[in-house]
């Protein structure tokens, strides 16, 4: 057993909101109360740790995480910058140490935060801005929302995209007045470029998630609801089997796999206390950042745009009907 004493421990119990002691046995909290009383009762039964007045909070659960994307983004260019110029500087810096022809990947940009973002369409950056600083590499940068991507011309060519490429049913290529792609890909159109990026191996995804856990713990997270896809689920299962999964994971089923999951008889709640199946992930519309969230009125700074409605109520109801939950 392990006894924590001399702490400010927030219990989330209205009757006893704060205590000074916590008794833990085999990973389970078995008593919470006055630290000195607990030490008198159980102090000789195991380790006693004096926290010297530190605060102890319940572990937090993030209700919407893309765990694979997050873990891999820690290895990419950090594009969450206050200016476009700083983002471009970081991309150029990474390109300078990347072998010629290899992809330069980044994540986190948000054009609404860039006062110097001029020259593109609708306040977005453009492929030409990346072309000017990185002519020898395909560059692909995903937005903070994960609802938009920004590619340079080399990346568009690698993906086989041109003026004649039609928009997918669930997304759009932003185009200039002549119909030429600008380098901004919205919603499902992101997949047109991402499929051209060399895929990460199962081992690299597993290793990235294992490493990323430490950063999430530092934020106070002990559980997450994950919305990434098959490769992430495989990595999580492997980490769990190896005893290396240190987060409680609710794994949600991508709507495109709903037919297979329901056909197997899977239900929400299947699994154990560390990794279990949750709900179904589907996009009804986009996100506010890239102006793809479906709105009743046009965006103030984009009068012809009401966003993208990707599912109607009948489709959503049908998906829900096929996914019984038991937990």
pLDDT of residue 301: 87
Q: Which residues of the chain have pLDDT under 70?
A: 325-327
Across the strands, what pairs with 127? none
Q: Which residue, among 24, 289, 284, has the nearest Cα to 146 in the 3D structure? A: 289
Does the pTM exceed 0.95? Answer: no
CA end-to-end span of the chain: 30
All domains of the chain in start order, with CATH? 2-58 (2.30.40.10), 75-194 (3.10.310.70), 202-321 (3.20.20.140)
State the Cα–Cα distance between residues 101 and 222, nearest whole angstrom.
Answer: 40
Q: What is the pLDDT of residues 274-320, one digit of tens each?
A: 999 999 999 899 999 899 999 999 999 888 999 999 999 999 999 98
DSSP codes, 174-202 = EE-TTS-EEEEEEETTHHHHHTTSPPPPH
pLDDT of residue 327: 47
């Amino acid at each position: 057993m392990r006894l924590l004493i001399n702490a400010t421990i927030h219990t989330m119990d209205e009757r006893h909101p704060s205590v000074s002691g916590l008794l833990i046995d085999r990973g389970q909290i078995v008593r919470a109360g006055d630290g000195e009383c607990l030490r008198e009762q159980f102090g000789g039964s195991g380790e006693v740790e004096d926290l010297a007045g530190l605060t102890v909070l319940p572990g937090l659960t993030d209700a919407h995480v893309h765990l694979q994307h997050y873990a891999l983004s820690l290895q990419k260019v950090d594009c969450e910058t206050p200016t476009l110029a700083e983002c471009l500087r970081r991309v150029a810096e990474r390109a300078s140490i990347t072998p010629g022809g290899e992809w330069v990947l980044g994540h986190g940009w948000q054009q609404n935060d860039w006062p110097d973002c001029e020259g593109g369409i609708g306040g977005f950056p453009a492929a030409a801005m990346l072309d000017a600083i990185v002519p020898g590499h395909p560059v692909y940068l995903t937005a903070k929302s994960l609802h938009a991507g920004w590619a340079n011309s080399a990346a568009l060519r690698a993906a086989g995209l041109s003026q004649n490429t039609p928009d997918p049913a669930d997304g759009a290529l932003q185009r200039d007045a002549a119909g030429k792609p600008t380098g901004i890909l919205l919603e499902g159109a992101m997949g047109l470029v991402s499929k051209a990026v060399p895929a990460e191996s199962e081992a690299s995804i597993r290793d990235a998630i294992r490493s990323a856990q430490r950063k999430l713990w530092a934020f106070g997270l002990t559980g997450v609801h994950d919305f990434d896809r098959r490769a992430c689920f495989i990595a999580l299962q492997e980490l769990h089997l190896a005893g290396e999964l240190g987060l409680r994971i609710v794994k949600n089923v991508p709507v495109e796999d709903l037919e297979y999951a329901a056909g197997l008889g899977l239900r929400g709640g299947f699994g154990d206390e560390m990794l279990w199946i949750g709900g179904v992930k589907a996009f009804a519309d986009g996100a506010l950042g890239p102006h793809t969230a479906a709105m009743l009125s046009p965006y103030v700074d984009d009068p012809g745009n009401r966003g993208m409605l990707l599912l109607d109520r009948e489709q959503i109801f049908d998906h829900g009907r096929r996914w019984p939950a038991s937990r």
